[in-house]
Chains A and B, each alone.
Chain A
Amino acid sequence: EDQVTQSPEALRLQEGESSSLNCSYTVSGLRGLFWYRQDPGKGPEFLFTLYSAGEEKEKERLKATLTKKESFLHITAPKPEDSATYLCAVQVLGRGAGNMLTFGGGTRLMVKP
């Protein structure tokens, strides 16, 4: 069974304090790993897609990396506006006609000024 586990469940940082969020996955065959940001009362907002181990992508203060077992979302010098829930999701090869996303439980990030 495909599994996606995110840790920690919640993370409190001071502004400027860099850290990493973890997404561990167990799937039969990975097509792609997705990171989304979700603000309260809103839908998930797309951040990155990673397809193969060793791949990295960056956007402003965020950097996503991928290995064969997990992905990390590194946040460098975070600001209060980075506070949100970060969701990790996988698409599995051959699973379902449309390759739906299987999500982890999310990490709630709070950045205090």
Chain B
Amino acid sequence: GAGVSQSPRYKVAKRGQDVALRCDPISGHVSLFWYQQALGQGPEFLTYFQNEAQLDKSGLPSDRFFAERPEGSVSTLKIQRTQQEDSAVYLCASSLQTKETQYFGPGTRLLVL
């Protein structure tokens, strides 16, 4: 079956621009996670949704980062007024239920100039 998909795959933004990154989880998966992966590092947790409810946003690095999943399926991670330190790969993962295996999408590579 189809896996997790993310779009765009690559995004170049000028410093100060707003960006929106999309995640389509595996159909029927209740849980959705966003992670940030810096070059040469392991992914770091940003936020978690169970259906449409955002239950954990403790990893969001600043109030410029905002995520939503209004209908409990597709999720969008928005970054306002992008900074160079926001350059990273943003990974989305979904799992059938909470605590089960997380399956990752291919990621969106964001470069802020």
Residues of A near any B CB (own CB < 8 A)? 4, 6, 31-32, 34, 36, 41-46, 49, 87, 89, 91, 96-106
Contacts and interface: CB of A to CB of B under 8 A. Distances in A.
Q: Which 4 residue pairs are nearest across A and B when measured between Cβ atoms?
A: A103-B42, A43-B104, A97-B55, A98-B48
A100 B91 contact: no
Interface string B43-85: 1110011100001101100000000000000000000000000
Contacts of B41: 105-106
Q: How large is the interface on B (under 10, 10 to 19, 20 to 34, 35 or more residues)?
A: 20 to 34
Contacts of B56: 96-98, 100
B42 A42 contact: no
B50 A98 contact: yes
A21 B102 CA distance: 22
8 contacts: A96-B45, A96-B56, A97-B50, A99-B98, A101-B35, A101-B102, A103-B44, A106-B42
Nearest to B42: A103
Contacts of A100: 33, 45, 48, 56, 59
